[in-house]
Structure 1
């Protein structure tokens, strides 16, 4: 979706507002060149203040990128485009965070076993056409349904023992060995990895064509 405007995008001195290695790999996969600026937002919004998980992830993504924007304004004057995102895993309306322990990771995976859950990402794009002008904002959400096979206790134990669970929402990574747990995905696969590439690319293309 961006192959015909890739050089124009890369001329914008892009900042990725995320330290996630998966998001970095996905942007590199589609040919984008970027500088990483990590958000210092604590991601401590009270979930009970939000009626739906999508509202929570939307607010978190926006707060994360607002922190990055302040850093960009101070140190990256040539930047014209900031990309940020937040992703949550949801089961029965409940947000499943990154597990804090092996036991918590096992409980999460067992709760997914033989069932469907959702992965929701909110992407935020900030862009400006000239220096010292106000940032424009676009934000959108992508929801993907993920069906897990039935997992035995021994499979869960062995996976958690690899250590792969602990830096991932929901306690698994679809791009690794846990991909073998997935029976079906309905929606954007890359959303489950960390960034919905097709809708993200489509919006980036529209921005560069319309504004640059």
Structure 2
């Protein structure tokens, strides 16, 4: 039997309340795989930023920042901002300058996947991640908190031989309706992918190594 992976970051983070500003089960699972046990704290941020005002990288970071600060405001009202670490993330799929989030209908799901399959340009998954660290010295002011942000990009090579009928049936099954881009790499959606270039877990919902590195940096430890 394998022994538990030991790293100084786990002792450091035990001094903080670690909140995941998301209800995504995939992000929670990834953090648990990394050895963390976050408290789920849903964000009330509306996620209604105009895509026309930002680059894709800026859009995902600003959305993640909005989620994080919304949770911070909730905790502040509850007097719970001392010794907390917040992590928020936003993930979108981009192709030919179009940002694809969660499809609202089966038809939208179908058309989006068809366009991505037929495109000569790569399908790219962008995640923006924000980590906020607060202790008593911040005086309950977010601008005094330690904040780090980063983006991760993974390219997906779509399988060109996938038929319209296959995509239609996939859209009707509903698997992709709750994920950015409308297809799950950890499900039947992977059948429409020829391969990826980059972090697999970024496509699932949260970059793996870079998230761990950033939490380590926030707590003055190293990978």
Q: TM-score, normalised by structure 2?
A: 0.87
> Is contact 2:81–2:134 with CA below 8 Å preserved after alignment?
no
Q: Which structure 2 segments of 5+ residues have no match?
A: none
Q: Secondary structure at the match of 2:177?
A: coil
- Residue 19 (structure 1) aligned to one of 1, 18, 23: 23
Q: Secondary structure at the match of 1:166?
A: helix
Taking structure 1 as reference, are residues 185 and 2 closer, same or farther at Cα in structure 2, changes over 3 Å only? farther
What's the counterpart of residue 126 of structure 2?
Answer: 120
1:36 paired to 2:46: no
> Is contact 1:106–1:157 with CA below 8 Å preserved after alignment?
yes
Alignment of 1:75-154 (within 5 A): 75=78, 76-113=80-117, 115=119, 116-130=122-136, 133=139, 134-150=144-160, 151-154=162-165
**Structure 1 runs, 4 residues or longer, greater than 4 Å off:** none
Give RMSD over aligned pairs. Answer: 1.9
Q: TM-score, normalised by structure 1?
A: 0.91
Taking structure 1 as reference, are residues 69 and 147 closer, same or farther at Cα in structure 2, changes over 3 Å only? same
Whole-angstrom distance in 1 between the partners of 2:45 and 2:13:
27
Taking structure 1 as reference, are residues 156 and 206 closer, same or farther at Cα in structure 2, changes over 3 Å only? same
Whole-angstrom distance in 2 between the partners of 1:128 and 1:7:
17
Aligned residues: 209
1:61 paired to 2:64: yes
